[in-house]
A and B are shown apart, each in its own frame.
Chain A
Amino acid sequence: MSSKTLYDKVWDLHQVSQLPGGSTQLFIGLHLIHEVTSPQAFSALSEKNLAVLSPERTFGTVDHIVPTLNQNRPFADPLAEEMLSTLEKNCSTYGIPFFGIGSGKQGIVHVIAPELGLTQPGMTVACGDSHTSTHGAFGAIAFGIGTSQVRDVLASQTLAINKLKVRRIFVKGQLRKGVYAKDLILHIIRKLGVKAGNGFAYEFSGPAIESLPMEGRMTLCNMAIEGGARCGYVNPDQVTFDYLKGRMHAPKGKDWERAIAWWKTLSSNENAIFDDEISFDANDIVPTVTWGITPGQSIAINESLPQSTTFEVKDRPITEEAYSYMKIEPGGKIEGLKIDVCFIGSCTNGRLSDLREAASVAKGNHVADGIKAFVVPGSEKVALEAEEEGLDKIFLEAGFEWREPGCSMCLAMNPDRLEGDQISASSSNRNFKGRQGSASGRTLLMSPAMVAAAAITGKVSDVRHFLKDDSNS
């Protein structure tokens, strides 16, 4: 059993009681809600005649269903409009702060909470969305919950939950040029598999992790869930503190000094005990691309597509299913595979640094003929900052579309979607069958810089050929 890890320390601080069933009642420090998984929770509250215990500890925004071309109200899609107005009404009824379109604070829930300074080290963070693991980048215990649990957090600011085991994923070395946090996490998931994390929280540590900026750490923790781990986290350090300083909800004045002192006590101790430990070498990792229908089905850009016989017997059926769905053959190269659509955005890679990296590839180049390429900033703040730097112009000049913030084609609950069996290069996190809005649509996951490179050549390409020696430092 783990001890003295950050996970253990934060868990202990938030324990309210032991429930008769054996699970723990855990206090939730930050609760985030959005339009898709909250309406039924609010209905359940009113059916049971319950109040919201701590409305000031819940924050709402709208992201999944918002259109990215025209955000004027009412939305063209009446169902989307109904979902947003239901959320607005629920937030106002219960006194929950809500960041709506045009507030300057709207965006994908996992992008806005960090940028507003809401997500802080040592907190427990819950949201009705599996990519809540993102917030672990700050040294928080952050995890996705279902709608019944959203109801429970609203009613009691607590949850009934079981403690996870902790696996340390130690990454030595340094990522090379053209290799990003996205490649690192795709590589880890490929090696460990999509179910290895079931029952575990992943602690990411080691020199390669310490060198990652906050946004890279968020990309990494975001996809912990794709490896089966409900939580991923990074121990807080100076990089974390520098990111938080001065943000709207970050502690100020004397509180700030005390906060840092406390946050420093949270990291896993040197003699912490983990339930499991695995190590990787960042130097070994090259740009990585998924070719199949799970985030674990990926290869390095310069590898050949694996034969089904190279997998364990139990993994062969899904390998064959993937080849047949993706309409590609083992043995060939992924590099050079023609694509139709390029999507840069999502809570995995829709932050400012992601857009900068993609723009540095796009700059001075042009999207290939017949390719639809679009950039969806993760939040209004990301959009504004990108526009201040002129990134929008770089993209527009290169033939990309520049859209309004939202989840967009990550899961295609808005009008942005693949058609037929179109194949996309996407900076998002899931390549499940049908994920991007067409039941036969195909998704290749990769870093935003790789998506930009694919847009320019019209094919899966190695971004390292695009990077000049002085870039991506």
Chain B
Amino acid sequence: MIRPITPFPTGAIKQIEGKSIVLTGNDIDTDRIIPARFLKCVSFDLLGEQVFADDRKELKGEHPFDLPINQDASILVVNENFGCGSSREHAPQALMRWGIRAIIGKSFAEIFFGNCLALGIPCIKASEKIIESLQQSITSNPGDFIRINLEELSISDSSIKYNVLMDPGPLEMLKSGAWDATSQLINKRSEILEVMKNLPYLNNFKY
């Protein structure tokens, strides 16, 4: 299936709207999001097609990422400890290239969270109760539209508005567009050299 190309995130990210898709289960690891054999590549370009490859094969078309109704979904709703396991950025890259632009869940593995942030994909936390009711309402109303508002830290579907959570640091980075850190980091050249001057292991262990 040829998926519509939606632009990748850029700049300040304050609101995200889109069709939702539910994936239930705790501890969904990065090996499942993108199995290791697909890491044999020198670019991320083709990963979108391969997201959840093994799980999808096993479910023969019944996997949420294969259901026709979900094909233009962009907001993924998951459960606990999503993205645990390896540091492969291929996992968020695969999700992003499939079309995902935000993830809502009870909790996320740390490296996965950071990798998503570096791509401009917010991982938003909500209580177990909210996740449950959200997943239920989407399941009974597939493809339901969700609106994420990072300014007021809320999400709303067609009927209800919920309060959600995100640590202030990453939230600020997304809202200000500073999630793409490279330019900020290289601009601090003199501060970097200063730290290097004071590190014992770079200075014959004088301290």
Contact = CB atoms under 8 A, between A and B. Distances in A.
B26 A317 contact: yes
Contacts of B39: 36, 64, 413
B81 A39 contact: no
B43 A230 contact: no
B54 A433 contact: yes
Contacts of A437: 36-37
A160 B89 contact: no
Contacts of B199: 13-14, 27, 29
Interface residues of B, number: 65
B186 to A, nearest CB: 5
A251 B196 CA distance: 17
Interface in B168-195: 168-170, 172-173, 176, 178-179, 181-182, 184-186, 188, 191-192, 195
Given A23-B169, A255-B204, A318 B87 contact: no
A411 B89 CA distance: 16
A120 B201 contact: yes
B84 A25 contact: no
A161 B110 CA distance: 11
B42 A145 contact: no
Nearest to B55: A433
A102 interface: no
Contacts of B188: 16-17, 25, 156, 158
A230 B110 contact: yes
Given A14-B195, A20-B178, A228-B81, A432 B40 contact: no
Nearest to B41: A79
A17 B191 contact: yes
Contacts of A39: 42-43
Contacts of A16: 188, 191-192, 195
B86 A130 contact: yes
Contacts of A194: 27, 81, 84
Contacts of A23: 169-170, 173
B32 A433 contact: yes
B157 interface: no
Interface in B35-80: 35-37, 39-44, 54, 57-58, 80
B45 to A, nearest CB: 10
Given A19-B184, A22-B168, 19 more contacts: A15-B195, A16-B192, A21-B172, A21-B178, A23-B169, A25-B184, A25-B188, A36-B39, A50-B182, A53-B192, A130-B111, A148-B118, A160-B181, A230-B111, A255-B204, A258-B204, A412-B36, A433-B54, A437-B37
Interface string A114-153: 0000001011000011101000000000011111110110
Contacts of B119: 148
Interface string A295-323: 00000000000000000001101100100
A146 B36 contact: no
B201 A29 contact: yes
Contact of B87 (A64, A146, A156, A254): A146
A161 B198 CA distance: 21
A22 B117 CA distance: 14
Given A29-B199, A156-B182, A162-B167, A40 B44 contact: yes
Contacts of B178: 19-21
B82 to A, nearest CB: 10
A435 B191 CA distance: 42
Contact of B172 (A22, A64, A120, A259): A22
Nearest to A20: B178
Interface of A: 13-17, 19-23, 25, 27, 29, 36-37, 39-40, 43, 48, 50, 53, 64-65, 77, 79-80, 82-83, 86, 120, 122-123, 128-130, 132, 143-149, 151-152, 155-162, 194-195, 198-199, 228, 230, 251, 254-255, 258-259, 261-262, 265, 294, 314-315, 317-318, 321, 411-413, 430, 432-435, 437, 439
Given A148-B89, A195-B107, A262 B192 contact: no
Contacts of B31: 411, 430, 432-435
A20 B168 CA distance: 11
Given A39-B42, A195-B107, A439 B81 contact: no
B129 interface: no
Given A14-B199, A29-B199, A122-B201, A195 B185 contact: no
A314 B25 contact: no
Given A13-B198, A251-B205, A435-B31, A198 B87 contact: no
Contacts of B185: 25, 152, 155-156, 158-160
Contact of A259 (B44, B85, B201): B201
B88 interface: yes
B89 A37 contact: yes
